[in-house]
Amino acid sequence: MEKTLVLIKPDGVKRKLIGKIIDRYEQKGLTISNMKMTKASRSTLEKHYEDLKDKDFFEDLINYMTSGPLIAMIIEGSNVISSVRKMHGNTNPIDAEMGTIRGDFGNSKTENLVHASDSKSHALKEISIWFNNL
C-alpha cells in the first residue's frame, strides 16, 4: 500500500481544524497509520523543505512552521500520494478549488493549512524525517 506524509500546519492546529481535516482523509477511505503532535525544530524543517532553501519566502516559511505545534501523519491507501494532493488543492488557497481543504479553509499563501508529499521518493524521505528522526 502506498504511503504519504501529511502535516496539519500550525495554523490548522491554532484554528481548531484538526478534526475537520482528518475527517476528510477518513471519509475518503484512507488509513491513518501513525500520527503525532509536535513542535518542529528548525533543523527538521530545513531537511523537510531542503528544495526550497534558496527561495525568498524560506525564512517566513520556517518562522511560520515553528510558530506552534503541528500534526504529523502517515496516511496509507491506493494512490494516496496523488489523492491527498488533490484533496489539499492548489498551494495558494486563492487558486484552490472549493471542496479542497485549502479552497474551503485557507486564505494565505504561506499559511495554507496542510502539507503532503508530492512523490514516492519524497514520501519516503519525509516519513524518515518526521517519524524516524532522520
Q: Which of 48, 88, 115, 122 is catalytic?
A: 115
Number of CB atoms found within 10 A of residue 91's CB = 13
Contact pick of 47, 103, 110, 131 for ligand TYD (by CB under 6 A): 110
- For residue 35, the surrounding DSSP H or E stretch is strand 31-38
Interface with ligand TYD, residue 67, by CB under 6 A: no
Radius of gyration of the chain (CA): 14
Contact pick of 32, 35, 61, 124 for ligand TYD (by CB under 6 A): 61
Exposure of 78 in the CB half-sphere (CA atoms within 13 A): 2
Decide: 30 and 1 in contact? Cβ < 8 Å.
no
Sketch the per residue contact string, 10 through 49, with ligand TYD: x for CB under 6 A, - otherwise.
----------------------------------------
Contact pick of 23, 33, 57, 107 for ligand TYD (by CB under 6 A): 57
Give the residue numbers of the binding site.
9, 57, 85, 91, 102, 112
